[in-house]
Structure 1
Amino acid sequence: MKLLEKYILKEHFAPFFYSLLIVVFLLFTNFLLRAVDRFLGKGISLNIIFEYLFMNLGWILALATPMAILIATLMSYGRFAEDNELTALKSSGISFIRILFPGIIFSILIAIPLIGFNNFVLPEMNFKARMLARDIYKKKPDLNIDVGYFIDDLPKYSFIIKGKKGSKYQNIHIYAKNQTKSQTTIRAKEGEFETIGNNILVSLYDGEIHEVDTKILENYRRIIFEKHQIIISLEDFTKTKNNKNLRSDREMNVKMLNSKIDIFNKRIQSIRNRIQKYLIKIDSSNFKTIEDYNQIIQLISKENNINLGIIRKIAEENNNDDNQKAFFQRLLADIQMIKGYEKNKNKYLVEIHKKFSLPIACIIFILIGAPLGIINKKGGFFIAIVFSFIFILLYYLFLIGGEEMADRNIIHGGLAMWLPNIVLGIIGLILIYLMSIENFFSKNLNK
């Protein structure tokens, strides 16, 4: 490596570590203010608190590193332009691409270890943080309800809850687990969860219980209720929560995540096979029109994004007898399960791609930061923070928006995580192209 490249590369290190410390401090302070309520009045030892806080530094570091890269790049190239070093280099016939190249090398040197950190170290830190959180949790146990996702914390049931209004949860679906002879599904419009002693009382309102024999599909039972209660032992719940073999998506490496996705694929295929079995037992004569029958077949045969609204509409138009009603009740319940599993599968896909997309953002931010630093001609920390805030905000808006669309199965989980890099990468390439144009580069250096 030539002297020029070494010099530019060296000039990135101090601003990077300085920026990293500042960003980590800000994110950690924000986390600490939100987490302090977990510790107050619970008699938790300082060792557990400090270890818990340290383990949470993992995800903070993963988020802070790309931000620090952008700030450091703006500061470095801004200072080069401010001190007229770039003017001297330009006069010597050195192109902007060559000036940019050491910055790209620097970002790659940071991105590669960060990929390894995200895949191997971060999941373990997140896992240990949860295992420490269980000691905090034991002081006041409750059910961790994440609206819109399957809740698998319970040994006998899986939950998916679509919304919350006040103290009541809306549109609750409960699936009995570990049943080989029958499949039980409970649906309720509203529900409440209350801790009573060593139990959680689940009160469901205005719903239905569906039971179907997995071997003899004609053995189907439907129970309508105004109020139904389920008692869940907190001992069983705590055992499940503290199980070291159970990890959330953020506590898994790529191999574990792929294994989890395979499990969901098998579950989805099992439900599809079950649907096919009772589709065989019904033909077009059971429908008002042949078009309705064909549309049902086409919708169910789709691998993704089964349109539940259209199926419900067809169900309303073809509820002619009890057998027809039972068929559509089973069908809608199974499709709801498929959609829930697909949503969970996409969550794991998002986590896989996030392990790579965030480190690659380091390279993307170099492409943006170097031209902007030269155009601005200011190497100060405050100016760098202002510019960084704009692009980091844009990046995370795309990241959060993409994750939201992935949750709704609108786009693939991988595309959701790479979308911010694609958008900002295009902006960066446009800026680099402009800086590569002779007149534009000279104009910004001499302004």
Structure 2
Amino acid sequence: MKSIHKLVLKSYLGPMILTFFIVMFVLMMNFVWRYIDELVGKGLSAGIIIELMSYAMANMIPMGLPLSMLLAAIMTMGSLGENYELLAMKSAGMSLVRITKPLIILVGFIAVGSFFIGNDLVPYANRKMYSIIYDIRQQKQTLEFQDGLFFNGIDNMSIRVGHQDPETHLLRDVLIYDNRQANGNMNTIVADSGYIRLSDDKRYLLVTLFHGQTYEQARNSQWYTKSTLRHHTFDLQKQIIRMDGFAMGRSDANQFSNSQTKDISELQHDIDSLELKVNAATTSSYEPLLKEQIFVRDNSVLPQPDSLRVDKRGYGNLMAMDSIARLPVREKEEVWDNARTLAKNSRNMFAFDETTAKDALNQLYRSKVEWHKKISLPVSIIIFFLIGAPLGAIIRRGGLGLPVVVSIIFFVIYYIISLSGEKLAKEGSWDAVYGMWLSTFILTPIAVYLTYKATNDSSLLDTDWYAGKIKAVEERLAPMFRKIKNAIKFKRNGKRDDSE
């Protein structure tokens, strides 16, 4: 028994590791394609890129684990069935559950570990990833001069280069417009050649120009009537200009805090706090609106003391409307103007409070979604294995052919259902329990059904079995079809004899 379990476990570990890295590679390519525009042209070091990719990969583990479990289970059981090893085990009296017992234990440990990954590693990786992406977005592009075009990547400076030598990086026909001076003076520099580069720490711009001229337009208190133009000629000019934004800064990762960067205990604390905040915002918004603005004297909506009560059937309101109808036109306009003013004030007051309540409510929905997502991940891993193992035993095909197709179909169904439920839960249309567990509720009966079929050696996906069933049905219906065909022929022949 131990030898069989070792064989099954060894057959599963290889495909599991292989498929996990394949899935993570595909997801990583999607991440790179998404942020490629922000990564190119910033002069990022290999260490920064590797760090960003590592955190992004850690963030994608909850998505890659279920698919790799499903694909590895189908490949393993399909390969055992294709090589008749599974049949030999069943012939020895072993059930499918007993054969997959070591795999169930292994997947159970992986599911428990996935909870700690989603609860501890993923929030930390999200904080780091968000901080690195923010720092990259704040960083300016590196100096890249194109022949005949102005480079405007430096604040208050514009540089045009006629030609740049690709080997020596010597610049020809250099034109610089410099507006950095606070007094408004503008310098225009024209040089035959030179070098412009950033320092090694990217904090300074090193400018070395040869054989050029400087034109300085000086403005004084009478610049609108008199402007001074200064002209200098130089053979060699060197400048060291302090630059900001070219060196990548590192922000504090703790300042990037949202529902995706918190563990389950922090999310539970936020949920409790946000529920109190939403209730308080709703109460402080609706009660004053009803009591002080809309239904001030209407005791049919808000009860009043006995001394101030009027008829609850609304006769008081009807009398008030009748008295308004009898007023002169000008007094009616005043009444309607006052009512319109009160309505506008009520709407403005309610809109201000409603914004606060909406923000808290959106945060509450997102926190609940993330809370349930951390719990549903281990369950989804187990369900995907329970789908993949019996499905592989039924298919009896190994390799990366049919198992990949079936796995992608199931994962796409799971992903669409999960995204739809998550969107409805974040919008508040559904409760977070239904939105995040919808895919589990749908896939669990499928897993139970496939396990039952595989245990009973069902030919659920065997094309030969379906062809035999169709042939048997055709043989049963063949006499009936012959009788119908003969009856039609007889009826046609009888009509011909009568016509003759």
Give the gaps of 5 or more residues in structure 2.
Answer: 142-248, 304-337, 466-500
Give the distance between the partners of 2:44 and 2:427, measured in 1 at CA: 39
Give the one of 280, 283, 290 matched to 1:279. Answer: 290
User: Aligned partners of 1:380 and 1:362: how far apart in 2?
Assistant: 21
Deviations 1:399-433 (A, max 9, x none): 10011111221112233222112211111111112
Distance in 2 of aligned mates of 1:443 and 1:266: 53
Query: Do the aligned residues in 1 keep the contact of 2:127 with 2:256 (CA within 8 Å)?
Result: no
Change in 2 beyond 3 A, CA 1:243/1:12: closer
* TM superposition shift of 1:92: 2.0
Specify whether residues 243 and 23 from structure 1 end up closer, same or farther in structure 2 by C-alpha distance, changes over 3 A only: closer
| TM-score of the aligned structures, taking structure 1 as reference length | 0.65
Where do residues 140-151 of structure 1 align in structure 2 (5 Å cutoff)? none
Instruction: State whether structure 2 residue 119 is matched by structure 1 residue 119.
Output: yes
Give runs of aligned pairs for residues 172-191 of structure 1, distance below 5 A. Answer: none
Indicate if the aligned counterparts of 2:365 and 2:426 stay in contact, CA closer than 8 A. yes
1:140 Cα deviation (Å)?
Answer: 5.7
CA apart distance, 1:369? 0.7
Report the TM-score, using the length of structure 2 for normalisation. Answer: 0.59
Please report how far the alpha carbon of residue 335 of structure 1 lies from its aligned counterpart in structure 2 after TM superposition: 3.6
Distance 1:444 1:94, change over 3 A: farther
Query: 1:90-109 alignment to 2 at 5 Å?
Result: 90-109=90-109
Q: Is the 8 A contact 2:76 2:398 kept in 1?
A: yes
Instruction: For 1:199-348, list aligned pairs within 5 A.
Output: 244-275=254-285, 276-282=287-293, 284=295, 290=300, 320-348=339-367
**Which of 384, 389, 393 is residue 365 of structure 1 equivalent to?**
384
Which residue is equivalent to 2:158?
Answer: none
| 1:76 is the counterpart of 2:67 | no
Counterpart position of 1:20: 20
CA distance in 2, matches of 1:10, 1:41: 46
AA at the equivalent of 1:382: G
Paired with 1:41 and 1:334, the residues of 2 have a C-alpha distance of 45
The C-alpha deviation readout for 1:140-199, integer Å capped at 9, x for no partner, is 69xxxxxxxxxxxxxxxxxxxxxxxxxxxxxxxxxxxxxxxxxxxxxxxxxxxxxxxxxx
Q: Which amino acid aligns with 1:84?
A: Y
| Shift of residue 10, structure 1, vs aligned partner | 2.7
Aligned partners of 1:243 and 1:379: how far apart in 2? 45
Give percent identity, aligned residues only: 29
Which amino acid in structure 2 is aligned with residue 30 of structure 1? N
Query: When the two structures are aligned, how many residues end up with a matched partner?
Result: 326
Q: CA deviation at 1:368?
A: 0.9
Contact 1:350/1:403 (CA < 8 Å) preserved in 2?
Answer: yes
Task: Please list the CA deviations of residues 300-336 of structure 1 after superposition, one character each: whole Å capped at 9, or x if unmatched.
Answer: xxxxxxxxxxxxxxxxxxx943223322442344345
Q: Find the aligned partners of 2:296 and 2:94 in 1 and give their Cα distance.
A: 78
Q: Deviations over 1:9-42 (max 9, x none)?
A: 2321111001111111111122112222112222
Whole-angstrom CA distance in 2 between matches of 1:406 and 1:140: 38
Aligned mates of 1:446, 1:436 — CA distance in 2: 20
- CA-CA distance at 1:137 after TM superposition: 2.4
Counterpart-to-counterpart distance in 2, 1:420 and 1:100 = 24
**Residue 440 of structure 2 corresponds to which residue in structure 1?**
421
Greater RCO, 1 or 2 (C-alpha within 8 Å, sep 6+)? 1
Q: 2:374 aligns with which of 355, 359, 366?
A: 355
Contact (CA 8 Å) 2:127, 2:253: kept in 1 or not?
no
User: 2:409 is matched with which residue?
Assistant: 390
Larger radius of gyration: 2
Cα RMSD between the aligned structures?
Answer: 3.3
Runs of 5+ unmatched residues, structure 1? 142-238, 295-318
Structure-2 separation of matches of 1:445 and 1:86: 20
Q: Aligned partners of 2:44, 2:73: CA distance in 1, in Å?
A: 42
CA drift of 1:87 comes to: 1.5
